[in-house]
Amino acid sequence: MKKQKLSVIIPCYNEEKSIEPLYKAFKRCFSVLSYNIELIFIDDGSSDKTIVELKKLLKKQDFEIEVLHFSRNFGKEAAMYAGLERATGDYVGIIDADLQQKPELLVEMVQVLEKKEEYDCVCCYQERRIEDKTMTYLKKKFYALINKISEVELVDGASDFRVFRRYVVESILSLKEANRFSKGIFSWVGFNTYYMPYTPESRLYGKSSFGIKKLFLYAISGIISFSVAPLRIATFGGLLVSLLCFLYLVVVIIQKIFFTIDVPGYPTLIVTVLLIGSLILFCLGIIGEYIARIYMETKKRPLYITKEELSNKKKS
């Protein structure tokens, strides 16, 4: 029988110090698996020596290794997509390069799929977040909101640290959108996911690329990719404001005609004008966010550009 294959996708951005220890960890843990292993490293336009470290790995022959070198930083989403496109394994896993996600867990995830036929994908989720309380709170709120207003169901703390069966990868790749919010895509394609709790290690080298601003924009992009509910704010907000305006109009007319009370002019006027003006701008902003994404989608630009594609596979 043909030996099965596990592909591992590793997006790397400024991870020069982690590459070697990560490779050693792979060597240590993958020995228990009787699979052919394919490692796909993506250097997402790092400004440090990540590519030099990756090229060193190509001299080794423990695993099949592919190295993709992006022409600039296109983001983790693009890197994961490029990896999924190239993965040829029966099982395909994604793991961060920074050693926060232990490769031992990747092995455990594969073993879950081996044992439990009813599952198509395994996903590690953080049972307990290691970040500060505000961040944990904000993330919790984000998950509650997106689950409420979108068609996808996201598990709080679910990471991109996953293993898929081949057909799941095919279905993920069939979603061609340029604005990729993978957590949503993984959930949107459906299938049976096994959620495995894990606690990420702290970062040994370098620093996280996901600061609060990037995470905030990522959250907005997630909501816009999977929900049209924000667009309805304009409809319902508009309806509500017109109703309130109408009620106020009735009050003003009654005051004027029946009680001959002088209707206060300037403050009411300025507050109303400013309020309605800002509401209109707010709604235009939301519409703008959607239009911007339609614009980017229609350009059909590639998700990434590769500078080099290298491999240690012997050309036959």
Buried b / exposed e over 173-202, threshold 16 CB at 10 Å, is: eeeeebebbbbbbbbbbeeebbebebebee
Rg, C-alpha atoms of the chain: 25
In the complex, minimum distance from the CB of residue 248 to Mg ion, in angstroms, rounded to a whole number: 53
How do strand 91-94 and strand 5-12 relate by DSSP bridges?
Answer: parallel
Site for Mg ion, residues 98 to 117, rule: CB under 5 A: 98, 100
C-beta closer to ligand UDP: residue 30 or 304:
304
Partner in contact with 69, chosen from ligand UDP, Mg ion, none, beta carbon below 5 to 8 Å by kind: none
- Under 8 Å between Cβ of 81 and 94: no
C-beta closer to Mg ion: residue 15 or 90:
15
Residue 171, amino acid: S
Partner in contact with 209, chosen from ligand UDP, Mg ion, none, beta carbon below 5 to 8 Å by kind: ligand UDP
C-beta closer to Mg ion: residue 25 or 178:
25
Distance CA 209, CA 101 (A): 16
Residue 75 in tokens:
């983001």
* 15 forms part of the interface with ligand UDP (CB under 6 A): yes
For the beta sheet containing 121-126, the strands, ordered from the edge strand earlier in sequence to the opposite edge, are: 193-198, 121-126, 158-165, 91-94, 5-12, 36-43, 64-70, 306-311
* 43 forms part of the interface with Mg ion (CB under 5 A): no
* 76 forms part of the interface with ligand UDP (CB under 6 A): yes
> What does the per-residue mask of binding to ligand UDP show for 189-228, with x meaning CB under 6 A?
-------------------xxx------------------
Partner in contact with 89, chosen from Mg ion, ligand UDP, none, beta carbon below 5 to 8 Å by kind: none
Chain residues that interact with Mg ion, rule: CB under 5 A: 96, 98, 100
